[in-house]
Structure 1
Amino acid sequence: MKRLTVSVLSLSLTACFLTQPEPAKRNTLGELDLATELPQTTVTETAPTPEQLAAAYQEIVALAPKASARQQANSRLAQLSLEQQQLAQEQGVTQDSGYFDNTVNQYLALLANSEALDGRDEVLYQLAKAYFLKGDQQAAFDVTSELIRDYPDFVHNEELIFRQGEYMFNQKQYEQAKNRYLTLVENYPDSPLASTSRYMLAWSDFKLFNYQASLNSFTQVLSLALEQDGKTVLNIEQLNNSDRYLVADTLRIMSVIFSYSDFEQDPVSHYQQYGWQAFSFMNFDSLASYYIEQKRYLDAAKTYQSFITTSPEPNHKVDFALAQMSVFKKANFKSLLTDYELQFIREFGVGSTYLATEPTDAHYLALKTLEKKYADRSYYQGQQLAQQNENAITAFSVAAIGYQRYLDTLQLKQQGDIDSHYLLAESLYQSQQWQKALSEYQTIAYSAEPNKYQSDAGFAVVSIYKTQLANKQRSQRGDAGQHEFVVEVVDNWLKFATTFSTHKSASTVVLQAFNLLFERQMYDVLLTKFAHVKQFSLSESEMYQAQLLAAHSHYNLQDFASAESAYKQLLAKSSEQASLVRENLAQSMIKQAEALAATNPQLAADKYIALLTLLPSTLYREQVQYNLTQYLISLQLFSQASKWVDDFITRYPTSKNIESLQTQKIAIYKNTQQGDKLAAQYAYLATSHSDENTRRISLYQSAEHYRNMGDIENARLQFRTYAHSYPTPFAQNLQAKVELANIYQKQNKASERRFWLNKIIAAYKVAPESELTWAKIEAAKATEVFANDAFYVYQKSKLTVPLKTSLARKRKHMAVALERYQQLADYALGQYSTQANFKIAQIYHLMAQDIMSSERPKQLKDLALEQYELLLEEQAIPFEDQAIELYARNNQLLHSGLYDEWIKKTLTALAKLMPARFAKKEVEPGENHAIY
């Protein structure tokens, strides 16, 4: 609705005309038809004064030929007079006649001289205005009545009706005034004066004691005055001054009406009949304020309560509730104040519809103040009961609710109160609401914004979890639930220790967490947490305990490599548990070695070496070191094995494994080419080993290795012992004798050699069938020595004078040599047979030669000597013939395919003895196929 704001004056409304606008349309000076009769004037830049304008219009009146022009000029002159009088009146200029007298006369003259005056209604309007300004209200009323009667369609009739109502109201003609105002409102609802007319209409009904009608009209006034740009203004401070005054005065008089005891209407019943308006609360507030002025405090409180209870709109109820409590406080109604404060918390606190949006500052302040007050009171009551050993759970539960409400309220403004938050957690704890208390303590403890309760709250979290761990219901949960809960407990305990590392119990809590996990056999979780142990402020001894638990966990999870690493870290630290750490470390390394043995014995051995290097005194050393030797030997790492075997034998001389290791040293010395030690080790085994056969073999082996390494003396002793001690097996016994013969040969000990050569020949005679061939060969070799010895003696035996004596001696030696070579020939072994045959033939040949070359008696002369030589020849020829026969017989072996050096020597001898037959080139066979 389009409306013009009007000023609300005093009830007399004496200055109403001064505030009205000029008429919408009236004739102007420019519309006068001056034609050519108007004098020429010079236009200047200076605006004419009112006096100059008046003189100009008077000149027009005098000169204008047309009546209409003169009429317009006179009308303009009257208007100029009206404006000049208004100015003079405002400035207080004194003049001979009264203000506006001349102006009135001008308008009256204009009306008198022109019955058919064009614009007569406008002139009457200006005359009424002049009377009004002059103060002649009755004359003004009469002129307006004439104007309304004669010109019902006059453009300013609504103003004239309003002036009449104003006049009648001032004359206390309230019924007539009411009619005039009602006429204007009904006929001119869009008029700028409609609002003020409604206001005066309400006042008229009030003066006539029509209270209900008056309230309705006043309500309409409020509706129109508060409507701005299509919206209802609910804060009168946002109105302009006139509207603000209008609204305030309207509310005031409505409050007066509501307060009348004989008038059975209050704001509730009024708006239930009229219809609730957005501004209805203003009436309740105004009425309550009116009661407070009169110290009618209960009535004021009831007024506020009636709005809270009945208004369909939630707006302003909070403010009225606050005002209501303010009334109780002002009146010192303590019990009522307490009840209403608690009611305020319930009805207007968090969770109510009144806090769907952000609260006003007053609402917020009151709510948080009251919630804090009653929460503190309940907490104090709980403390008192607890000190008296009485049940305080209920009191603390109420306190917890209060503190929660208070903190929720603070959150509406993104605020907080750490003291109250902590008291909330404490209240929940004291009322045994463990889970809720836990949540609040956690929020406080781990808030991003530092606060003074953080460490205490964090420790409270630890305490609550301890309580819950001991709770029977928790312990009866399934394995999965138990596991999850324990992890939750440990996570929170460790979080406390990390966050509040300086807390006196921080390190204790860490160890409790680790111990809990270990007791529950949650080793994997323990290790996961232990990975971050450095972030905890643990003492050296506490860190040791934590590391020990981690090491045990690795071990129990059979992660022996990690267990080893963990135990190693503990070795350098002194502790009563050092022995346990060492042996667990040893076990961890042993387990790894055992696992590696099947797939990678090298790594297993390395692990054992590392163990013995690190823990030389471990209780498991004997078995570990023995296992190590076996791995190294199996890997053919004999050099490493040798060291550990020797060390083992030294450390554990009575071990059951000594004999096997002593035996395995043979392989070690063989593969490390330690001949001296190998031979000595065989010698050791030959005397120390429990098994006789092993002793026998070791004795023989020691002899051989002494021989191979050039230790002839030890070889001799060992072979000799063997030859005397072990007649069986035959082959090795015989070989020992052969070796002894060879050794004595090298030592140039002929007699000792021949001793063993005789043993060899004797052994042949008892040789088993399986060894007969070899034994024959060795016997043949031995016999050859003796044959050669006999040949040597025979050869060295010279035929001297007397021939008979020397020849007999030589023949004796010849018989021995022949016997020896015959023995050699009897073996029927290839070269030994040809050798024996050759040597026998040679013996005969040599006898013949020695006879022919024997010493001649010195006394023989030519003839005698010649006869002597014939005698010698006769004696030599049989021997030579025998030699040829034997040579020839040996030579026959050539045709059987046998050819060796002795056959060759045989041919040479035959060639010398029988050159015609044998002194020719013989083709030697390519191969010797003789069977030995």
Structure 2
Amino acid sequence: MKLVDYNRVSALQAACALPVLFGMCVLLSACQPALQPRGESQTIGSMLERNGQSAERLFMSKVSAKKIDDAEVESLRVEAAALNHYQKILNLASASGVRAEALRRSADLRIEGAERDGNINMREVAAATELYQRLIAEFPDYPNKDHVIYQLARAYELSGRSELAIDTLRDLAHEYPASQRANDALFRAAEMLYLRKRYQEAAAEYGRLIKQDPTMPYWQMAQYKYAWSQYQLSNPELAVSSFTAILSQLKIRSEVMTMEQLLAFVPSASAELLRDTVRGLSLALAAKPKGHNINAYFAGLPSNHFYPLVYSSLGELLMNKKRYTDAASVYEAFVGAYPRHDLAMRHSENAIAAYQRGGFTGLKISAQEVYIERYATAILASAVEGEADAALTKLSKLLRDYTMEVLAFRHAEAQRAEDSDADILQQRFAAVAERYRMALAMFPLDANFATTSMRYGDALFDSGEHKAAAEQYLAVAYDLASYNKPADAALAAVKSYRAWLNDALDAERDEAQQAVIDASIQMAAAFPQHPERSRVLLASAEDLYGMQRYQEALAIAEPLLENAQWVDLSLQIKALSITADAYYAQNRFDKAEIYYDRLLPMVVAEPVLQNLARERLAISVYRRAEGLRSSGENALAANTFLRAAELSPSTVLRANASFDAAGQFYVVNNWKKAADVLQGFRSNFPNHRMAIEADKLLAETYQKSAQPALAAAVYGHLALVNSEPLATRRQASLMAAKLYDQAGLREQARRAIEKHIAQFPAPLLDAQQFRLRLAAMAPANSELHQRWLKEIVTADKRAAEPNEASQLIAADASLQLAMIDVRRAKSAKLQLPIAKSLALRQRAMQAAIDSLAQASAYGFSDITTKADYELGNLYRDFAKALMESEKPRELRGDVLQEYVLLLEEQAYPFEEKAISAFEVNVARVRDGVWTAGMRQSLLALIELAPAKYGKQPQLEDSYDSLY
């Protein structure tokens, strides 16, 4: 439906009036002053009335119809002629009334012609717009101005100026509330706002319309769109009340349960709107906040005959939206408010279906329980009274299905319960058992009656009613021929009686014991091929064993064990178990070992029995290994201990046997086997009391087998065991570091050394040697290299007692650090601007001088003389750097020569300092010292002062021999 459908003006009718109108315009223009009364505006309509004509009819006599061959072409021709005539009128100095009418009709024709063949002629629209605007401007009191404003809004819309169209329509409605077009304009403005999703504004305009008389043509549609606007604005309360107002206007005299019943109260043209109203009401109700009460909503309505339809529609909507619990709550609310309604049972079923589709099993079961409680009696009573039509049969089946689902769920729920209180668990199963009893009474002819009876027995058993459960099982096994597993029921009866025996009071024990025996005999006789028959017969032997009457138990079990007629292995297993256990209990381990050996391969599928048999066999084997060790058969003892460990599921025995096996392998120098067993021991028993001893033994084993890396890893682990003495941990850490280094694993060695230093900073010498090793492992002159050298120096300074060996290491580290400063100073080039680079070089030199002084201060001749040599060399290099420094480019000739002489003067003192440092170093020969640093100093002096030192070949030869 087109939202803006303006009233059309017939172009052909207007054109037919042109000849008379045009003649009258000319006449009126000539005599205008005489025709216009003073103070009264003249209109074409008033003039026509004075000529005996009405505004709707221009000819006095009837004009015969003219046959038109092509109506469309003729219409276009007439329309063009009309526009042409109106334009001529506008070009003349016509009377104001004539001009105004010409403006309006010309604009109307143009706006009509602008919309043709589905296309819009924007030029015509623009022309019409301009004409309407001129008309309003020139004739503000035009009698038909509401029409002009209406048409102008239409022109604005056609030209795409929607905002102007909306404002114009709203202005029309506000300025001309009595106009026939006011409501139309207001509605169309609201529609345009709604289309543009300006719901707040649209709602305001719709709201003005719905405040009027409901019989007003636009009222129902405005009410409908107002409701949707409020829904879009997320105002569900207002939307609900607005949709409800539409339904309340209907003359509904009886309850409406279907849409077809509702549509019967309205014309077919309103059917779609009414369908959408119900849908909107449902959406609005669904959008209301959680916890709202739909029953309260309907209770507040004075006339709510449509409530069944809305409940159903809302529930269906929520189902489609997959809001299953909300849908179920709507259906349940209906049932709660109208329990006797014809739809109550169906909505109860709908609620159950909603929970089913949503996967809310617990809620579904609860709803089914309510359904059973509410309707079971009536459904079953109707069936008994012979009213078993198709619908009732379906209901009975549904009731039965619900009942079985509830039973299965509640039974499984009780089985899954993890309540530690046995009494509470039994109460749960007792409740389930009562449900089974009621179900059996309700459906005695059910095809699954026997299966339900069996489950009834299960529930009784779990509830602690073992005697009653056994009686129920016996009835299923021997009285209900329809049950397909009677032997299982018979076995369940035996187990139930045995459970009763276990819990029986002293006064009941004899009766319970006889009941177990009778049930066992009855089962063995009735079901000779039952796979559990042998176990039932051997149960008495187990009872005797439990009473420590071992010889009597053996008297029953051993004959069964030797009976070759029994092909069922379970019988042999049971007999073997009882026999082996009876011998073991009497400490007859030789016989027990024989039977356990036979038993083990047959009980793979029975872990508990297998573990017990293996453990007892392992104990026997372990005791034999102890004897071999005592007799000096170490290799055989090691393997026997291993077998005991492999057999035993006991952690304690397995750990002891493994450790003992490793010790025996170590004794016989089987390093690989000893290491393998010890590794397994460490992995499997890290918290064993012998774990530390195993680590020590494993480390020694790796060392003896020339595997330093593996030994280092174990020693590293031992170093972290706080329970060990400090000396032991320190020695382990030391060994780990040395062995990693020995193995060539630099990274592991580095980490191990760092850990050792951090954990055991004393004794100092060990730590210093390790720091020196870390410095050697680092890249030369790197930050890491310097860090460890500095730590050596720092550690020596902090030492409480001097240590000459540590001081020597520290002196060497200090000299290495100084040499880094020396190289840094020498690398500082003297370049322009000389003042800046000279300052940098001087700071670097001072740092190097200080570092060399620190190294020299330790007093070790090799270090001191090397430091002094490097000091002199530092001065000499600086003097040389001064002479070779970059010269200012602007110096030429004598000025340059003078600058060079100045540099020589600056360099000379540093050469003198160098010579002095070398001389001090060489002078130490008088103290009987001759080192590489002193020899290097002498060679430097020969080069710097050849006149003084270059003629001493004998002295140099002597020095060389000393060196």
- Alignment TM class, shorter chain as reference: 0.3 to 0.5
Greater gyration radius: 1
Q: TM-score, normalised by structure 2?
A: 0.34
Q: TM-score, normalised by structure 1?
A: 0.35
